[in-house]
Amino acid sequence: MLAETKAMEERMLAELPWLAPIGALVLAAVIGVVLALALPRGRQGLAGAWVAGSHLAAAALAAAVWLDRGLMRVMEGTVVVDGLALATTGLLGVAGAVCVAMARPVVAGTDREGEFYAVLAATTLAAAVLAHAADVALIAIALGLLSLGSFILTGYLRGARRANEASLKYYIYGTVAGATMVYGFSWWFGLAGGTGLRTIGEGLAQAPTGAVVASTALVVVGLGYKAALVPFHFWTPDVYDGAPVPVAAYLSVLPKIAGLVALARVLPAALPGDLAGWTTAMAVVAAITMTVGTLAAIGQTSVVRLLAYSSIAQSGFLLMGVAALEGSDRALPALLFYAVAYAAANLAAFAVVLAVQRERGSVDVSAFAGLGRSHPWWTAALVLSLLSLFGLPPLAGFVAKLEVFSAAIDAGQAWLAVVGIAMTVVSLYPYLRVIAPAVLAPAGGPAQAPRTPRPGLALAAALGVTAVATVVVGVGAEPFLSLADEARAMR
């Protein structure tokens, strides 16, 4: 027994290099807390620099593991280090660093600035673990930490009533959704006799169809709420609108992508061979999600709420990649490429919104009037990001939508591609409601009362990086598509 224990310890120690990206995020959170406690208030920005650098280190280590170590199962099969997990971790690392830069001008000088960065690092860590998890117990723990960090970040501005309300709503909805998912996992454990996804897949194949459908629906509630899929999306507009804008940007990308990647790992492994028709169910949810999000965005007067509904619609397009996984080899690469394109464009849009809010004190559409005359570079970034979300060539969003539509058709879901094309056309209207006044309207009115004329170096860097990425990933899509093609998921 002692020899077996020692052998297992040695094996786990030998597997640690494959977990280097996760380790970087662990250090980001732990040392971030230490720095927050040790540094004086005027030096708390160093904690932010550490957390941002650690996010980039995690992305670099994910690339290094992919190139030098290869792919494998570690920690007795509970963690999968494959192309899906490493590509997602790389994206989370870069996007997390951008969000830290966006948050810097908002939280600088506040009484818990360092703790904010540490919580953000812990939340990213949970998102990365969720992408690697091949055991439902680990998935439940990762989703719990991801939700807890999201709740805290949402209510960070304790003196803001709307932030407190948004955090409370998010907490109540998230707790119920998470508990529902864990209940579904308990059904899977009872039906399969284990918590590993492969074990569950073998067990559910022999289980009654009714029990499989009911338990899977419970599981999808938890992951669907994190990805803001309809009908689990109700929290999204209020939370984005009440949270600080950098937190809304963070929530719109990192937890969403982690939730969708978890669905892409859990459903094919636990329900192999399209068991219980889960691909059709996901296709229907995708169609409803993109339709509801697109139509609800039309009447919004707040750009943050418009982007919230836009992010719901984008979840529907991302889910198209998940729905096509059993029928097309192009589905997983399409999902990953779309995630990269969406992250770049959405973060760029939120960066412009934050800059406008800091200068003009509002996020209403009227606050963007005349922006092209006073800030042509901001306006250029805004136009590029929104048109990429729409899917205009040659921007990243166009290639991304072309990939998910092709995957859907290849998987025999041409009807879903038709819905996606229709919603893409409709989505141009809400985006133009922001672009038109920014480009065409003359400067003037209440939106011209300046508050903070300069966005700050950190915010300017975040805006520049994301805007350039929106163009580069589209114009130079070939290497990114080739990389995504190599990102296979282990079952």
**Domain membership flag for residue 57:** no
CA angle 237, 238, 243 (to 5 degrees): 105
- What SS3 state is found at 324? coil
Contacts of 277 (CB under 8 A, 6+ apart): none
Is the pLDDT at 187 greater than 60, yes or no? yes
Looking at this protein, which amino acid is placed at residue 78? Answer: T
Confidence of residue 11 (pLDDT cuts 50, 70, 90): low
Tokens 């985006």 found at? 431
Confidence of residue 234 (pLDDT cuts 50, 70, 90): confident
Is the pLDDT at 13 greater than 80, yes or no? no
| Residue 307 near residue 350 (C-beta atoms within 8 A) | yes
Calculate what percentage of the chain has a pLDDT beyond 90.
Answer: 53
The residue with greater pLDDT, 8 or 359, is 359
The beta-strand segments (E) located in 42-183 are 72-74, 79-81
**Domain membership flag for residue 357:** yes
Could you read off the pLDDT of 396-451 as tens digits, one per residue? 999 999 999 999 999 999 999 999 999 999 999 999 999 999 888 776 544 444 55
State the virtual CA torsion across 95, 100, 105, 111 in degrees, nearest 10. Answer: 150
Q: What are the tokens at 121?
A: 């690092």
Is the pLDDT at 1 greater than 70, yes or no? no
> Which of 1-10, 231-240, 355-364, 418-427 has the weakest average pLDDT?
1-10
| Confidence at residue 447, expressed as pLDDT on a 0 to 100 scale | 45
10 Å CB burial of residue 68 (0-12, 13-18, 19+) is: exposed
Phi-psi region of 489 (alpha: psi -120 to 50; beta: other; left: phi over 0): beta
Confidence of residue 455 (pLDDT cuts 50, 70, 90): low
Is the pLDDT at 168 greater than 60, yes or no? yes
What is the residue-averaged pLDDT of the chain? 88
The residue with greater pLDDT, 466 or 165, is 466
| Confidence at residue 91, expressed as pLDDT on a 0 to 100 scale | 94
**Domain membership flag for residue 201:** no
| Rg over CA atoms, the chain | 22
| Confidence at residue 60, expressed as pLDDT on a 0 to 100 scale | 94
**Domain membership flag for residue 434:** yes
The residue with greater pLDDT, 3 or 167, is 167
Question: What spatial distance separates the first Cα and last Cα of the chain, rounded to whole Å?
Answer: 30
**Domain membership flag for residue 209:** no
| Confidence at residue 371, expressed as pLDDT on a 0 to 100 scale | 86
| Confidence at residue 18, expressed as pLDDT on a 0 to 100 scale | 81
| Residue 115 near residue 45 (C-beta atoms within 8 A) | no
- Closest by CA position to 313, among listed 380, 366, 252: 252
Contacts of 207 (CB under 8 A, 6+ apart): 191, 192
Residue 399 belongs to domain spanning: 273-491
| Residue 471 near residue 396 (C-beta atoms within 8 A) | yes
10 Å CB burial of residue 402 (0-12, 13-18, 19+) is: middle
CA distances from 163 to 74, 153, 216, 242, 275 (A): 40, 9, 33, 5, 42
Q: Return the half-sphere exposure (C-beta side, CA atoms, 13 A cut-off) of residue 41.
A: 6
Could you read off the pLDDT of 343-392 as tens digits, one per residue? 999 999 999 999 998 888 888 888 888 888 888 898 999 999 999 999 99
DSSP label of 67: I
Could you read off the pLDDT of 55-93 as tens digits, one per residue? 999 999 998 888 776 677 777 778 888 888 899 999 999
| Confidence at residue 317, expressed as pLDDT on a 0 to 100 scale | 96
| Confidence at residue 242, expressed as pLDDT on a 0 to 100 scale | 86
Contacts of 399 (CB under 8 A, 6+ apart): 337, 341, 393, 473, 474, 477, 481
| Confidence at residue 443, expressed as pLDDT on a 0 to 100 scale | 65
Residue range 214-242: mean pLDDT, rounded: 89
Is the pLDDT at 154 greater than 70, yes or no? yes
- Helices 414-440 and 376-390 meet at what angle, rounded to 10? 160
> Which of 89-98, 166-175, 299-308 has the weakest average pLDDT?
166-175
**Domain membership flag for residue 144:** no
Looking at this protein, which amino acid is placed at residue 372? Answer: G
* Exposure class string for 73-82: b at 16+ Cβ within 10 A, else e: bbbeebbbbb
Question: What is the total count of domains within the chain?
Answer: 1
10 Å CB burial of residue 5 (0-12, 13-18, 19+) is: exposed
**Domain membership flag for residue 490:** yes
Residue range 268-272: mean pLDDT, rounded: 90
Which helix (H) or strand (E) element contains residue 136?
helix 136-154
Kind of pairing between the strands at 72-74 and 79-81: antiparallel
